[in-house]
Structure 1
Amino acid sequence: MSTAIPDTDQETADKLKSLELAQRPAESSVGRVVYWIGVLFSLTHIYFNTLGTWSELYVSAIHFGGFALICALMVPGFKSQTRAGQRSVLLLDILVGLAAIACALYLIRFEDALYDRGVEFVTLDWVFSLLAIGIALEMARRTTGWFIPSLIVVALTYVFWWGPFIGGMFGFAGLSLETLLYRSYFGSDGMFGSIARISWTFVFMFILFGAFLVRSGAGDFIIELSRCAAGRFVGGPGFVAVLGSGLMGSVSGSSVANTVSTGVITIPLMRRAGFPARFAAGVEAAASTGGQLMPPVMGAGAFIMASYTQIPYVDIVAMAALPALLYFMSVGFYVRVEAMRSHAQSVELDTRPLKEVMKEGWHFLLPLAVLVGLLIYGFTPTYAAGISIISVVVASWLSKNPMGPTAVFDALAQGARNMATTAMLLVAVGLVVNVVAMTGIGNTFSLMISDWAGGSLLITILLVGLASLVLGMGLPVTAAYIVLATLSAPALYNLIAETKLIELMVSGGLPEAARMIFMLVDPEKVALLASPMSEIDAKALLALVPPDFMGQLMTQAVDPVVLSMALLSAHMIIFWLSQDSNVTPPVCLTAFAAAAIAKTPPMATGFTAWKIAKGLYVVPLLFGYTNLIGGSAEEVMRVFVFALFGLYAFVGFMEGHLESKLNLPLRLICGAAGTAMLWPHDMWSVDLAGLAVFIALFMYSRRGIGAVATAR
């Protein structure tokens, strides 16, 4: 699929250029070198993920060295106007890349020698550990700007320099520079630790899978399928943007790339259909942001979440599907409302019959079916991705454009290029995660959040949302999620788990073993736990439990499955809130990319996208207060169905419009109906009443359509 950008005015063109890396052209001589290095490195990673038995630390080091070389050649570190200066910059970039490979080889060759010396550094240990960290900082600077390198420097210097000089809860006694370098470079928790392992296993294999799908022509099929499925509805081009961006994002995992690849088609379609230009750009930005919420890739978030929570990847993506659908439906509701308000035409698309589209592209669905089938059957995600890559090639032989050796090499090279910046980002962020683990600052931060929130889950979620917005101004969403999850997930988990415990206490279903812990706290009130009690009494009694006993109490009282789902809910909240920086001013990269295509003011487009993406804030509340994650099938479907209509009612309240304009009293009633369906409670009567009121309002608003048509 073409990703060319239509002509834009100078302001928006400059905005878009600021979002893209100043990469060397792929067709240049350097680009051809990167091409073949990418092919070789992709094949190497496939080997490591299937047949290889090397140490994970060594593979992580090779992963860093190879992708640092690719990144150094792709993204110049400095600008030069003269040809001679360009050659000097290229030579410097080559030296940086080769130095990264030398750092990887040194670790592999001399790690045993370090331990033979009793972990005592010699000169070369100092040189290569400092060099590796310096290269990680430089690659992060080239790919994301100065924020991440600055954050890493602050974190590292906190450990060996300024930590002892600050008092209070963030004071740290400090470690020697040698200890810090050992743990960062040689240690299994540093830059070559768990985050790097996630990078070269799950993330790389699925990015490579997406590259094969795109090279095989699946992107064009997705757009055509979206046109057939949604193009004939009122406001059809808007629904094509929502559906197409969701499907593309499910395999690409990059919101900006999603916007550029699908927006060049969907935004002009929406504008021709009658949608305002700024709204069209906002819809594309919001829908493309949702692509990172859509299984199976989820912008690498599902893999990192699986590593943090120890919950199987296939379970995470299964439970993420309905919430993602809620988000895309909420964007679709905005499209429907705006289509009715703007009188957008029902169809402005040259759609082909669905039967014809499926006849030409049904084979593109086979690799996805293979992937899902292998995951459900119990194979590891990396193995499933590897087999699915092969299935893409085989399935392409059923099309008019079968993938031959050239196409396979193209996909291998493009997968490596797509992965280079992500790999450097994850390796660099691993340094921050290592500092958090070494210093215990994560527990301190969680305690601080709990203290500020005063035990309120809502305030805690709001604080995490604010922190995610601030971090998102300088960090990509995956990095923001990693940092926030490391710092605040324990606090969120504890509050959600305490909510489950209070529910048991209120119902009188607390196990006998858990009651014995309360015997140590207040023997006189233990008898109250044998029968239902008020929520206020339960919270007061729970507040008496010392923090040292809380973990044991949770283990004794709450089912382990419920606790694991509480942990997953905490991470889902953080992951969803981490996406808001894509569409929230002042730094909203996805909205800026859409604005460049639509020729609209970037900041105003950002505010429009922020409004349309309100599901990013509503659905996380459902994670915290309902059983949308981990509940029974009946509980999940109840929350899903009423939340779906609640979000529609919420959109009607925000816009003052459903099928026709709502006056102020009806608008307030619509908001009340949406609140009734979204508010967490156990009363079916409230949900049904809210649903009945909304349906009545919807039908009443349809009566206004004829009146509007008559007036026109």
Structure 2
Amino acid sequence: MSSSERVTHLRRFNGVAGGVIGGLALVWILFHIVTAGVGTLPNYQQRAVHLGGALFFVFLLYQGRPRFPRLQLFLLDLPCACACVVLLGYVFVNYDAIVMSNWYVNESVEKVFGVTLFLLLLEAVRRTLGWMFVSLIAVFFCYAYFGPYLPDPFGHRGLSLERLIYVFYMGNNGLLGTLMGISATVVALFLILGALLNVSGAGDTFIRIAMRLGGRLRGGAGMVAVIGSAFMGMINGSTVANVTSTGVLTIPLMRRLGFNRNLAGSIEAVASTGGQIMPPIMGPGAFLMAELLGIPYLEVVKAALVPSVLFFTALLLGVYLMARRYGLEALPPQLIPSRREAFEPRAMGNLLVPIVVLLFFILQHYTIQTAVFWSLMSIMAMMFLNSLLPRSQLSNEASARSLELAGLEAQVAREEAASTRGRMIDLLRDTYEGLYSAALSVVYIAMIIAAAQVMVSIINLTGLGVTLSQVILAIGGDFLILSLLLTMALAIVLGMGMPTPAAYAVGAAVLAPPLLNLGFDRLPSHLFLYFFASVSAITPPVAAGIFAAIAISGGTFLATARFALTLACSLFLLPFLFILNPELTLAGDPLTIILAVVSAMLGIGFLSVAAIGQLGERMKVLPRLMIGAGAIVMVTPGLWFDIIGIACLLAGITFHHLSYRPSRLNKHRDENS
């Protein structure tokens, strides 16, 4: 293994071993695709294959310790991988007996199997996610067992070890529960979809379109990062994955055009966070929400449309204001792709056909699995058709431009060399690499979902969600805003270090009941939690999205986080807007919706102005406070709040211009003299 592989603890197999592992990964991924097309297996069987395969590949691919890797592989990892297959294969084979029974079928064997699987899961979670997740699972299990000894209001009657083992291994609310089912049938398919879109060239296409659309604006490189990350976030579903996929192009581009390294990293991290809330294809957490609520996915898209547009409008304005503040210009004209390069027909076909197919089947009310299956088939068909035709000179130039702008000249040479090889061989290689990359992503996400499933199961079994609901209601009392602030803080804390799907799942189990008891509707309540599950990726002290960005930009954590929180100020406010004002989720009559959207747009825009402190010239403290207060008042529902907010905004703008008027007059006199 190379030194880089020892650092990441991720094994790379070559030769026969690499072929075997790659072949098994391919079969496992094809299982998800085929069952999506012809019909999934019964619940426990589908989930057992999904989780069993994920655990199998964790022990083979994720190195437990850097010392004695070959000895560890044969004496520890390979037996553990096979044991996971046996333990979940037992559930697969005995599915009928398990679902017909309310207790153990073969108690002595199943207790041993349950304990063994629990220990193997803890080790798999440690290897993929770290000790924090292991500690969380251990804390939840201790809470479940020691409930009778805890003080009120958190005490409960407790669960025996026998009950805990049964629920974990064989119960409907255990490891193979609802979240694992969603992972096996929805989340995995979207990860495969994103991987194949990447190898088909969608990432380069997104960047070229973003350059064409935003490159001419002031701070054009930052605009490219925002637009490109919004596009990629629709198919990516992970802040960290979005940063690492688009950031390798956008962050070097921003650095080359004068952006501070901390500002460049923060723009990419915030834009990647917002990509998960961007319709029409939001992150996997949105599909998880639709399944948990039992509503069509399009209802989630409809509810998130206006908040996502408001956020990206505010973010683009924030980047523009930062560019004014630090004297950053647009992209040079020679670096902006032509219309033909940006919208090259073959590249646009690879991008649009799968998305159109996906949306068509969703709009026709087919299941999500069927929609993604046919979208995957369309990607493969487009890749096959393109392999039959020689790559156009325009396509080669467009791809080279995207890479050269990011300073990846070596990759340009590889792209040009690849065009001379057999196109069918390239197709097979690209398809295999895409599916293998998807397998790695599915393994990682499956471990996150498994950890979240254990925690959610214990929350449901012990009634912790109801308990926290009572605590929040007792502290907040009649003050809705205080209760919402407490819920926000808990949602962010619970989501720290977790990717959005897992953060949302845990938050929904714990914090949705308090919101419902406060009288809020189900969809806005869950969307509130989903937004803050996304925000946790850029909220210190964990802030995984910030760490991913500084790994590329070379910036510092605190400075990058400060810029990120300034740019993302609207993302912290938006959930309060739509949960208090459901018209922003497109619920209500058209006139009321339009007025609410206009009011929110003005408020969110001026909040960015106040946070950044730039309005023509740099703003002084008092005008910033006045404009910030007016923006917050204006986004509060109610006509009188709008009037008061507008008055504060006008007063702040007037005071700002008056404070700079003498200096402008003196400058004008000096120029005339």
* TM-score when normalising by structure 2: 0.86
Instruction: Determine if contact 1:267/1:280 at 8 Å carries over to the other structure.
Output: yes
1:313 & 1:325 partners in 2: Cα distance?
18
Instruction: Determine if contact 1:241/1:266 at 8 Å carries over to the other structure.
Output: yes
Match status 1:606 vs 2:561: yes
Instruction: Determine if contact 1:238/1:270 at 8 Å carries over to the other structure.
Output: yes
* Per-residue CA distance 1:68-106 (angstroms, 9 max, x = gap): 1112222112221x4xx4332354222211111101111
1:616 to partner: Cα distance:
2.2
* Per-residue CA distance 1:481-539 (angstroms, 9 max, x = gap): 21121111111122243xxxxxxxxxxxxxxxxxxxxxxxxxxxxxxxxxxxxxxxxxx
* Partner amino acid, structure 2, of 1:294: M
1:139 & 1:456 partners in 2: Cα distance?
43
* Partner amino acid, structure 2, of 1:592: F
Name the counterpart of 1:560.
Answer: none
* Partner amino acid, structure 1, of 2:216: R
1:321 to partner: Cα distance:
2.3
The answer to which of 194-203 and 283-292 deviates more is: 283-292
The answer to which of 238-247 and 353-362 deviates more is: 353-362
1:170 to partner: Cα distance:
1.9
1:589 to partner: Cα distance:
1.5
Name the counterpart of 1:431.
Answer: 454
* Partner amino acid, structure 2, of 1:285: A
Instruction: Determine if contact 2:448/2:502 at 8 Å carries over to the other structure.
Output: yes
1:280 & 1:232 partners in 2: Cα distance?
18
1:66 to partner: Cα distance:
0.6
Change (3 A) 1:693 1:94: same
Match status 1:377 vs 2:364: yes
The answer to which of 382-391 and 263-272 deviates more is: 263-272
The answer to which of 44-53 and 486-495 deviates more is: 44-53
1:26 to partner: Cα distance:
6.4
Name the counterpart of 1:145.
Answer: 130
Change (3 A) 1:230 1:117: closer
Name the counterpart of 2:608.
Answer: 651
* Partner amino acid, structure 1, of 2:125: A
The one of 65, 69, 82 aligned to 1:78: 65
2:377 & 2:651 partners in 1: Cα distance?
49
Name the counterpart of 1:547.
Answer: none
The one of 494, 512, 528 aligned to 1:471: 494
* Partner amino acid, structure 2, of 1:212: L
Instruction: Determine if contact 1:457/1:496 at 8 Å carries over to the other structure.
Output: no
Match status 1:417 vs 2:374: no
* Partner amino acid, structure 1, of 2:135: S
* Partner amino acid, structure 1, of 2:433: D
Match status 1:387 vs 2:387: no
Q: Secondary structure at the match of 1:437?
A: helix
Name the counterpart of 2:575.
Answer: 620
Match status 1:182 vs 2:166: yes
Change (3 A) 1:636 1:372: farther
* Partner amino acid, structure 2, of 1:60: R
The one of 524, 544, 547 aligned to 1:589: 544
* Per-residue CA distance 1:111-167 (angstroms, 9 max, x = gap): 5556679635432111111122222222211111112222222222333x3112123
Q: Secondary structure at the match of 1:168?
A: coil
Instruction: Determine if contact 1:673/1:694 at 8 Å carries over to the other structure.
Output: no
The one of 348, 355, 359 aligned to 1:368: 355
For residues 116-195 of structure 1, the aligned pairs below 5 Å read 119=104, 121-159=106-144, 161-195=145-179
The one of 578, 585, 594 aligned to 1:629: 585
The answer to which of 277-286 and 121-130 deviates more is: 121-130
* Partner amino acid, structure 1, of 2:483: T
For residues 273-672 of structure 1, the aligned pairs below 5 Å read 273-348=257-332, 350-360=335-345, 361-363=347-349, 364-397=351-384, 399=386, 400=391, 404-497=427-520, 566-627=521-582, 628-632=584-588, 633-672=590-629
* Per-residue CA distance 1:8-59 (angstroms, 9 max, x = gap): xxxxx99xx99x9531236676554432222101111122222235211111
Runs of 4+ in 1 over 6 A off after TM superposition: 694-701, 703-712
* Partner amino acid, structure 2, of 1:393: M
* Partner amino acid, structure 2, of 1:475: M
1:468 to partner: Cα distance:
2.6
Instruction: Determine if contact 1:96/1:135 at 8 Å carries over to the other structure.
Output: yes
Aligned residues: CA RMSD: 3.1
Name the counterpart of 1:108.
Answer: 92
Change (3 A) 1:26 1:286: farther
For residues 224-235 of structure 1, the aligned pairs below 5 Å read 224-235=208-219
1:31 & 1:456 partners in 2: Cα distance?
60
* Per-residue CA distance 1:305-342 (angstroms, 9 max, x = gap): 11222121121023212212222222212111111111
1:195 to partner: Cα distance:
0.5
1:208 to partner: Cα distance:
0.7
Instruction: Determine if contact 2:97/2:105 at 8 Å carries over to the other structure.
Output: no
The answer to which of 113-122 and 615-624 deviates more is: 113-122
1:214 to partner: Cα distance:
0.4
2:224 & 2:31 partners in 1: Cα distance?
38
Runs of 5+ consecutive residues of structure 1 not aligned to the other structure? 1-12, 498-565
Change (3 A) 1:595 1:179: same
Change (3 A) 1:141 1:689: same
2:118 & 2:177 partners in 1: Cα distance?
14
1:51 & 1:650 partners in 2: Cα distance?
50
Change (3 A) 1:474 1:29: farther
1:326 & 1:339 partners in 2: Cα distance?
20
1:700 to partner: Cα distance:
6.5
Instruction: Determine if contact 1:267/1:284 at 8 Å carries over to the other structure.
Output: yes
Change (3 A) 1:189 1:694: farther
Change (3 A) 1:421 1:221: same
1:293 to partner: Cα distance:
1.6
Change (3 A) 1:351 1:60: same
* Partner amino acid, structure 1, of 2:598: V
Runs of 5+ consecutive residues of structure 2 not aligned to the other structure? 392-422
Change (3 A) 1:658 1:385: same
* Partner amino acid, structure 2, of 1:343: G
The one of 53, 58, 77 aligned to 1:93: 77
The one of 24, 28, 34 aligned to 2:11: 24
1:695 & 1:391 partners in 2: Cα distance?
54
1:297 to partner: Cα distance:
4.8
1:642 to partner: Cα distance:
2.4
Change (3 A) 1:394 1:111: closer
Q: Secondary structure at the match of 2:343?
A: helix
Change (3 A) 1:48 1:644: same
Aligned-residue sequence identity (percent) comes to 32
* Per-residue CA distance 1:406-463 (angstroms, 9 max, x = gap): 3333222221111111012112321221112222221111111111111322112211
Instruction: Determine if contact 1:282/1:591 at 8 Å carries over to the other structure.
Output: yes
Instruction: Determine if contact 1:649/1:694 at 8 Å carries over to the other structure.
Output: no
